[in-house]
Structure 1
Amino acid sequence: MQIEVFKSKIHRAKVTQAELHYVGSITLDEALMEAADLIENEKVQIVNVNNGERFETYVIKGERNSGTVCLNGPAARKVQVGDIIIIISYGIMDKEEAKNHRPTVIFPDQNNSLN
């Protein structure tokens, strides 16, 4: 049996931009992507700590070490610059494999940098 499990998370990143007139997605600093085991075009769930919004989109690679966390397209209406969000990815794996899986969780600082 295959099940969907929590794969990785960027916990409490700060939204730096919201670009309504753009094809939908979230642009993330490449360093954050690598640390959180995310790849370009991967589906993610966004949870907005400030307003409770929860939605899905996909990742676009942003400039490395820029701190960029930009919601694009319709997702831009679900956030305000400065909001704190959680970015979660999930994976499909065999149930037995999932029992031993340990998700990757990163905690960026207030500038979306990794210490």
Structure 2
Amino acid sequence: MKSKIHRVRVTQAELNYVGSITIDEDLMDAAGLIENEQVHIVNNNNGERLITYVIKGERGSGIICLNGAAARKAQVGDIVIIIAYGSLSTEEASTFKPKVVFPDDDNRLVIA
């Protein structure tokens, strides 16, 4: 695991769109995600799992939008986990620390 956005709420589902997930740019930055990066989505409400890619969403908007066929895998209000993976050597992996983001109920960054 390279990074994870843990327990964000789906704010939109747009079936008639090229497939992907739109993520608030603040959340992307905090998790170290880049546009077009592959991510795995796990839906806590229904157990669905899917793989798609990231589209940059409006900064500060809290948007989490499943697009295209992915929109069939979640409903607005569902809680999902977004996970990105990376390849590391055994040596790199032994010291690597993933970025894990725990947003609030409005999908905003929690400043500690």
> The TM-score by the shorter chain falls in which range?
over 0.9
Q: 2:92 is matched with which residue?
A: 97
- Please tell me whether residue 39 in structure 1 is matched to residue 42 in structure 2: no
> 1:6-25 alignment to 2 at 5 Å?
6-25=1-20
How many residue pairs are counted as aligned between the two chains? Answer: 110
Q: 2:77 is matched with which residue?
A: 82
| TM-score normalised over the length of structure 1 | 0.95
Structure holding more strand per residue = 1
Counterpart secondary structure, 2:85: strand
Q: Percent identity?
A: 69
Q: 2:102 is matched with which residue?
A: 107
Shift of 1:61: 0.1
CA distance in 2, matches of 1:45, 1:99: 23
Return the letter of the residue paired with 1:26: I
Shift of 1:95: 1.3
Q: 1:3 is matched with which residue?
A: none
- What runs of 5+ residues in structure 2 fail to find an aligned partner? none
Q: What value does the CA root-mean-square deviation take over the aligned residues?
A: 0.4
